[in-house]
Amino acid sequence: MQKETEIKLRVSRETLSALREHPLLKKRNKSGWEKLELFNQYFDTPDRELAQAKVALRLRKDGDAIIQTLKTRGQSVAGLSERNEYNWNLPKAKLDLKKLEGECWPAQLADLDKKTIKPLFTTDFVREKAEIAWGRGKSKVVIEAALDLGHVIVGKQKEEICELELELREGEPAALLELASELAEKLPLMPCDISKAERGYRLFDASTYTIKLPVPALHAETSVDDAYSALAWYLLGSSQRLAEQYRFNGHWSLLQDWVEVLAELRALTASLGQAAPRASTHDLRAALDALLEDWRTLVQAGKEDGDVRAAAHEQFIEELDDPRWGQFSLTTSRWLMERRWTLERNNRGNRLGNAMLSSWLPRFLSDEATALNLARYQQQPEDLAEQLQRIERIQVWLHFARQTLELPDLDRLYGELNKLAELAQLDITDPILEARVQQTVTVLQSRVWKALLKI
């Protein structure tokens, strides 16, 4: 068994060509580019029980070699994935079911009749690979860079494979993100944690591709720093999967969800006060503001205009053809991995970052609720939009951490604040102004809002 740590980056054919000649890869290339033709057959049961267990099983023909590979459930965070991989060299291109035993075989598949495992789809592509190595501090980094071009094929359907895969051979995982970030400065590289196997399953049955990631489990004893880290990684990873799926099928609701996730990441990052000094979060907030300025405006317009919705997918493809999205994704991943919001903060900031949610969150919500001063907007509903960011800062913590608090009716408050935030974004008309007044009253009169103001 070996542990596979890698990052996959979706690229265009033009970018793939540019990567071969990239000065950074040329400088660090220790082996030259080697070209391989790889033919891969993936297997599963008719009910796709291996996929449900997060297992990928394939036979690969690499020149004269036949390799059976089993990849088991791992973890993937914002494009950087890690999982166990088992490889067996076989004398012929026939699956050896006897190899699928012992520690490599998931316990949840113990009762599976392996004779029901059959071919499902193929991924055939040309790979150009090279050993990229350099010194990083006192340690050495070795990464295999692979440029893959080909197709996933399911019956008469196929999807193009065009990606850069960076796999860590030696060194720290952060080096993968460092290299990818440097390459993404001028080239459009889209972090994309959907594997070639997942693409095959998605073509076979679109419903098998799961966009949603597991929501982090926060507890009253979770520190503010750990809660922020878990939620920010979750939101970043979710944004990448939504971007990939919207690119793939163009469903309007996915673009709406993508914008909402970015807005939550923006609100979360702005909510930490001295635990995340403004200087440390400036670049991340500015990048999110730029994305939201373009795409939130478009989504709002698209709610009422079918032509805007129809044109949005092509505009999104243009976004992905620009370096901005890849730069944002990779830079943010590095920022989170290094926990940069914790650097150079004062003692009070350290105490806040180390505080438990049970002590920090009620005070945060109380301070924000007091500063929001909703009573004012009963009289001046036309100005409610100026408080949208404050409402969103409250919302994001109620969304993900309300279970850590011992306050009444938090679920209801979260729903009512969602309605208020939506009204704050709509164009002003007499009916909208009246709705804002009524919704403000609803929030003000709720038991939990009154309780927050008394903390």
SS3 at position 253: helix
Residue-wise pLDDT tens for the chain (455 aa)? Answer: 567 789 999 999 999 999 999 999 999 999 999 999 999 999 999 999 998 888 899 999 988 899 999 988 666 555 566 678 899 999 999 999 999 988 889 889 999 999 999 999 999 999 999 999 999 988 899 999 999 999 999 988 999 999 999 999 999 988 999 999 999 999 999 998 788 888 899 988 877 777 788 899 999 999 999 999 999 999 999 999 999 999 999 999 999 999 999 999 999 999 999 999 999 999 999 999 999 999 999 999 999 999 999 999 999 999 999 999 999 999 999 999 999 999 989 999 999 999 999 999 999 999 999 999 999 999 999 999 999 999 999 999 999 999 999 988 999 999 999 999 999 999 999 999 999 999 999 999 999 999 999 98
Residue 220, Cα to own-chain centre: how many angstroms? 25
Specify the pLDDT at position 73. 67
- In 3D space, the residue among 276, 241, 281, 275 whose CA is nearest the CA of residue 261 turns out to be 241
Helix/strand/coil (H/E/C) assignment for every residue in 274-328:
HHCCHHHHHHHHHHHHHHHHHHHHHHHHHCCCHHHHHHHHHHHHHHHCCHHHHHH
Kindly provide the residue ranges of all beta strands, DSSP E only, lying in 181-290, ordered along the sequence. Answer: 190-191
Q: d(Cα 216, Cα 237) in Å, to the nearest integer? A: 12
Specify the pLDDT at position 74. 63
With 0.85 as the threshold, say if the pTM is over it. yes
Q: d(Cα 54, Cα 62) in Å, to the nearest integer? A: 24
- In 3D space, the residue among 184, 147, 200, 166 whose CA is nearest the CA of residue 82 turns out to be 166
Task: Please classify residue 205 by burial: count the beta carbons closer than 10 Å to its beta carbon, then call 0-12 exposed, 13-18 middle and 19+ buried.
Answer: exposed
Measure Cα distances from 426 to 173, 258, 296, 307 in Å: 44, 19, 12, 19
Q: Domain 1-210 maps to which CATH number in 3.30.70.100, 2.40.320.10, 1.10.600.10, 3.40.50.970?
A: 2.40.320.10
Q: d(Cα 281, Cα 345) in Å, to the nearest integer? A: 12
- Give the Cα-Cα-Cα angle 184, 151, 12 (nearest 5 degrees): 25
